[in-house]
Structure 1
């Protein structure tokens, strides 16, 4: 798994469309020929639902919860992976709502996802990790396991404080674990034509000068794709945002120069 590109999609501020971005970035990477594993680390299971895997969220053990909390179950993590038409999925489960205190008490509790991914037998070009909409042990696990973060944010003033908090936490993890967490880019999501949005898009461009800033406009088709259990690339109606997500995928390929095409 050493050559696998791993990307945590994170913003602890709720309501930014983080899961929709994660699913469609994964769909775009699949569209460009990559083998993708999607890890739903959010106890709410929004991505699991958004990929049409509601039954997996209610599944009996063993689940992702067990893989994160039990080293013996971790070795069988491949058996937990579910095939989707666009990607493989390591789904969330209702038991994940109890995982935060378990990880707090566990030895190396913020490195459990790293251990789970290291135990995979299957090879993937890229692993997308959908984080919970809050900071905690699960998000720390994702950031440390991936070493890379893609940040969805709304084009509104409240995003400034949320981004500051996220970057502060990344700095804490980098110092504590002597590692580096790379910012891959910011996705300005659900953008509408307002003065506030225009001002925030300008602010994003001024502040994030070293990373790409992509603009995803608010589109009904994105919600329809989510309801259909897939990304934009599997719905019949056309949407101009498919080009944006393909651009994101292309930019990620450039940043991961060693990401090998599987098709």
Structure 2
């Protein structure tokens, strides 16, 4: 099972959109995927059209008093795609502060996932937090979506500093995804060139264009694959191909 964090310490870069679309695309090639929503905004549920909050969420999985099994906490949202939502985000943080170690916390909490899933994708909050620290220790790969604006690009140093502070190898950052690219603007073009000067081709993916249809799909609780099959989807498929090559 390959474990992936979708992380950036800056909000508004499309993390949840990337996480949901990556999960949906992987399950479409007959891979079993668990999407774990550990973003305090809980956008994955919205983007996948989950109408009712599940009875059991991530907190029930780690509740030291009455822990639930993973199978009791996940919700099947599509064929081959399960979602593990979160609730009581502050209580999850408190449990982590109580833990003796955070570097293996999720290994224990999600120990049963490898029996069922090919990929486990975690949507993270845009912050330094004890929850994110536990996630970054746990995963095999980090994918960083970034908006093509100066502030987002400058923020990369903070991500690398965060990993260094945790003594996590920065080589865990496997892919950087330029998101919401608008080829009509000089700013997008210039900032894409800036990213190309920073990152090697094996890390930087092709940009994903800014499309109104993607926003509409998310509001409708669908992925773009479901909402508008006429939209050019090559960029998402290219991302999926890059992810599969990671192993």
Mapped to 2, the partners of 1:70 and 1:181 lie a distance apart of 33
Equivalent pair of 1:48/1:92 in contact (CA under 8 Å): no
2:127 to 122, 134, 137: 134
1:64 to 52, 58, 63: 58
> Counterpart in 2 of 1:201?
192
> Counterpart in 2 of 1:259?
none
2:67 to 66, 73, 76: 73
Deviation at residue 110 of structure 1 after TM alignment: 4.7
- Does 221-230 or 179-188 show the bigger shift? 179-188
> Counterpart in 1 of 2:173?
183
Mapped to 1, the partners of 2:178 and 2:94 lie a distance apart of 32
- Is 1:225–2:222 an aligned residue pair? no
Deviation at residue 252 of structure 1 after TM alignment: 1.3
2:93 to 100, 104, 109: 100
Cα distance 1:121–1:255, how it changes in 2: closer, same or farther (>3 A)? closer
Equivalent pair of 1:110/1:138 in contact (CA under 8 Å): no
Equivalent pair of 2:153/2:195 in contact (CA under 8 Å): no
- Is 1:239–2:234 an aligned residue pair? no
> Counterpart in 1 of 2:29?
32
Mapped to 2, the partners of 1:119 and 1:181 lie a distance apart of 26
Aligned Cα RMSD in Å?
2.0
Task: Tell me the TM-score normalized by structure 1.
Answer: 0.85
Aligned length: 244
Mapped to 1, the partners of 2:83 and 2:115 lie a distance apart of 12
Provide structure 1 residue ranges, at least 5 long, that are not aligned to the other structure. 257-263
Deviation at residue 180 of structure 1 after TM alignment: 6.6
Mapped to 2, the partners of 1:147 and 1:17 lie a distance apart of 21
Mapped to 2, the partners of 1:180 and 1:68 lie a distance apart of 28
> Counterpart in 1 of 2:167?
174
Deviation at residue 31 of structure 1 after TM alignment: 2.0
1:114 to 107, 120, 127: 107
Equivalent pair of 1:114/1:145 in contact (CA under 8 Å): yes
